[in-house]
């Protein structure tokens, strides 16, 4: 559907279509949210074996796919709202919509395909759209950020394609079924696993493959930062980890230890780096590295509870990190800077942004009863149950660091002294305000609602 809308919007007639591109894309995203949220509306419930025939690959949706499609639709809608409040030029808006639809088509297909080559292909389709989106305003920092992303993505692509070649030689095919039934003791199979894992770690921005992420997140236009931090990095890297290493391949003890180490190191390094930042978008970027580490830590636990916690934190991170980047967009639009040393006293002048930022940062730090607390708690409990007491303690202590740098951000931006005084604060654009309220409400409802889920016994 995003692909068809992209074609319609670029037919060589009717200039009016540029004016309705935002509305049509918004309606498409609303449909995706409602359809994936209900699960029943999807066309493949009627004829599940026929979709994807025209494109030459098979679509195999499941419950994990529906969760991801819902998260993709929601985050893309928030990115669209942010663009409506920050992009002024009609041409720039239309270009943004076109690239958003390409990224949306890529991400949707990533979570629906059932073979490794098709998955890789649409990871690259998504990345291609983001290369251009990051440099949409043609600024020097944005071009530098997208160049780093491009180079490291190319390296990741080489790793992933080489791995696919080895999988094809050893398994006779690259479908998920063929990979799951393969001999895991074969040397070339293990080599392919390692190469593909390296590619995914680059795409995910985990330590020590995180060099591109802070620059790309902080230099991109506000709406693109929301999309990139909220969903693209996780779908292109973390989701594939969840799909392959959680459901297709058998997770060996050595692979578990590797994932636990990478997740734990990313949590600590990301949190410590965020403490030293003066630019709030870079601080949020390093915070993303830390929070992605929690997802990988849950996956590395190797238990169903750990996997459930990883998926839950995946969704929560998309919500609260999108909220914080939307708030960053609002602040940047009003103050004209992302330097926290030049900001202050915005709490009284922008109360909605201040309140929703507080909700987002407390959820990120894992403060009860917000949604982020419950997903982190599930991961920590899973680690304790699996006997991984050291990593569980690491996850708990890193939450204190998270709370420290976010409280510093809140104090400096919303309660500190403003020097020098900034221009007169205007009213927050309606689309951005709506996005702030929507995401903050989801964070609150997700936290409070989970209490009732536990009490009802559904979670067990």
| Number of domains present in the structure of the chain | 1
Average pLDDT over residues 10-33: 81
| 454 in any annotated domain | yes
pLDDT band at 15 (very low <50, low <70, confident <90, very high): low
CB atoms within 10 A of CB 415: 13
How far is residue 82 CA from its own chain's centroid?
Answer: 16
**DSSP string spanning 19-50?**
HHHHHHHHHHHHHHHHHHHHSSS-GGGTSTTT
| 397 in any annotated domain | yes
Residue 40 pLDDT greater than 80, yes or no? no
pLDDT band at 454 (very low <50, low <70, confident <90, very high): low
| 30 in any annotated domain | no
Task: Give the integer Cα–Cα distance in Å for 104 and 126.
Answer: 7
Average pLDDT over residues 302-312: 89
| 424 in any annotated domain | yes
How far is residue 98 CA from its own chain's centroid?
Answer: 20
Average pLDDT over residues 177-187: 75
Share of the chain above pLDDT 70, in %: 89
Q: What are 59's strand-pairing partners?
A: 113
Per the document, the length of the chain is: 460
Share of the chain above pLDDT 90, in %: 21
Average pLDDT over residues 114-123: 89
320 half-sphere exposure, CB direction, 13 A CA radius: 32
Q: Phi and psi for 385 in degrees, rounded to 5?
A: -65, -30
Residue 423 pLDDT greater than 60, yes or no? no
**C-alpha closest to that of 196 among 163, 239, 147, 231:** 163
Domain hosting 310: range is: 251-460
The secondary structure of 114-160, three-state, reads CEHHHHHHHHHHHHHHHHHHHCCCCCHHHHHHHHHHHHHHHHHHHHH
| 380 in any annotated domain | yes
Out of 42-46, 131-135, 429-433, least confident range: 42-46
For residue range 319-334, what is the model confidence (pLDDT) as tens digits? 999 999 998 888 887 7
Task: Give the integer Cα–Cα distance in Å for 385 and 365.
Answer: 22
| 219 in any annotated domain | no
To the nearest whole number, what is the mean pLDDT of the chain? 83
Please, are residues 314 and 239 in contact by the beta-carbon 8 Å criterion?
yes
168 half-sphere exposure, CB direction, 13 A CA radius: 9
pLDDT at 41: 53
pLDDT band at 388 (very low <50, low <70, confident <90, very high): confident
Average pLDDT over residues 132-159: 86
Question: What letter would DSSP give residue 266?
Answer: H
| 82 in any annotated domain | no
Please, are residues 363 and 354 in contact by the beta-carbon 8 Å criterion?
no
Q: What tokens does 45 get?
A: 């419930």
- Tokens 């919509």, located at residue: 97
Q: What tokens does 237 get?
A: 């890297």
Task: Give the integer Cα–Cα distance in Å for 213 and 119.
Answer: 22
Task: Give the integer Cα–Cα distance in Å for 217 and 205.
Answer: 11
pLDDT band at 43 (very low <50, low <70, confident <90, very high): low
Task: Give the integer Cα–Cα distance in Å for 289 and 284.
Answer: 9
pLDDT at 14: 66
| 401 in any annotated domain | yes
Residue 93 pLDDT greater than 60, yes or no? yes
pLDDT at 186: 77
pLDDT band at 54 (very low <50, low <70, confident <90, very high): low
pLDDT at 101: 93
For residue range 329-373, what is the model confidence (pLDDT) as tens digits? 888 877 777 778 777 666 667 788 888 888 988 888 888 888 888
Please, are residues 396 and 309 in contact by the beta-carbon 8 Å criterion?
no
Q: What tokens does 94 get?
A: 């239309």
pLDDT at 76: 93
Exposure letters 157-183 (e unless 16+ CB within 10 A, then b)? bebbebbbebbeebbeebbbebbeebe
Residue 193 pLDDT greater than 60, yes or no? yes
Task: Give the integer Cα–Cα distance in Å for 43 and 236.
Answer: 25
Q: What tokens does 173 get?
A: 């095919």
Higher per-residue pLDDT: 378 or 51: 378
**Three-class SS state of 56:** coil
How far is residue 350 CA from its own chain's centroid?
Answer: 26
Task: Give the integer Cα–Cα distance in Å for 216 and 326.
Answer: 16
Q: What are 457's strand-pairing partners?
A: none
Task: Give the integer Cα–Cα distance in Å for 245 and 159.
Answer: 17
Residues 6+ apart with CB under 8 A from 354: 346, 347, 410, 414
Show the CA angle centred on residue 165, arms to residues 163 and 171, nearest 5°.
Answer: 95
pLDDT at 4: 87
Average pLDDT over residues 101-107: 92
For residue range 428-450, what is the model confidence (pLDDT) as tens digits? 778 888 999 999 999 998 888 87
Please, are residues 177 and 131 in contact by the beta-carbon 8 Å criterion?
no
Predicted TM-score (pTM) of the model is 0.89
């Amino acid at each position: 559907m995003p692909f068809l809308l992209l074609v319609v919007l670029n037919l060589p007639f009717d200039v009016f279509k540029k004016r309705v591109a935002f509305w049509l894309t918004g309606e498409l995203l609303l449909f995706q949210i409602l359809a994936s949220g209900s699960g029943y509306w999807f066309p493949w419930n009627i004829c599940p074996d026929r979709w994807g025939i025209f494109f030459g690959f098979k679509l195999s949706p499941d419950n994990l796919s529906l969760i991801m499609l819902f998260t993709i639709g929601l985050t893309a809608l928030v990115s669209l709202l942010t663009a409506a409040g920050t992009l002024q030029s009609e041409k720039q808006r239309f270009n943004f919509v076109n690239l958003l639809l390409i990224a949306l088509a890529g991400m949707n297909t990533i979570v629906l395909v059932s073979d490794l080559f098709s998955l890789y292909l649409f990871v690259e389709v998504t990345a291609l759209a983001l290369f251009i989106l990051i440099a949409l305003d043609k600024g020097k920092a944005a071009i530098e950020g997208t160049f780093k992303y491009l180079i490291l993505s190319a390296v990741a692509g080489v790793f992933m394609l080489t791995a696919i070649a080895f999988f094809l030689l050893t398994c006779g095919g690259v479908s998920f079924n063929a990979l799951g039934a393969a001999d895991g003791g074969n040397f070339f199979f293990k080599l392919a696993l390692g190469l593909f894992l390296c590619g995914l770690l680059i795409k995910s921005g985990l330590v020590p493959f995180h060099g591109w992420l802070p620059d790309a997140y902080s230099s991109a236009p506000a709406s693109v930062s929301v999309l990139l931090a909220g969903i693209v990095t996780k779908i292109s890297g973390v989701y594939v980890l969840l799909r392959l290493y959680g459901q297709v391949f058998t997770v060996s003890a050595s692979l578990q230890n590797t994932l636990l180490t990478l997740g734990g190191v990313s949590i600590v390094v990301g949190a410590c780096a965020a403490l030293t930042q003066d630019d709030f978008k870079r601080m949020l970027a390093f915070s993303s590295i830390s929070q992605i580490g929690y997802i990988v830590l849950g996956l590395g636990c190797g238990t169903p509870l750990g996997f459930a916690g990883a998926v839950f934190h995946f969704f929560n991170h998309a919500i609260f990190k999108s909220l914080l980047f939307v708030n960053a967009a609002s602040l940047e639009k009003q103050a004209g800077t992302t330097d926290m040393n030049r900001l202050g006293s915005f709490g009284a002048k922008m109360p909605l942004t201040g309140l929703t930022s507080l909700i987002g940062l407390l959820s990120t730090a894992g403060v009860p009863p917000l949604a982020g607390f419950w997903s982190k708690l599930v991961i920590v409990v899973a680690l304790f149950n699996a006997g991984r007491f050291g990593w569980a303690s690491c996850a708990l202590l890193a939450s204190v660091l998270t709370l420290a740098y976010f409280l510093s951000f809140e104090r400096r931006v919303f309660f500190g002294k403003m020097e020098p005084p900034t221009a007169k604060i205007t009213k927050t654009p309606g689309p951005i305000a709506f996005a702030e309220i929507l995401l903050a409400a989801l964070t609150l409802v997700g936290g409070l609602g989970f209490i009732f889920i536990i009490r009802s016994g559904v979670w067990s």
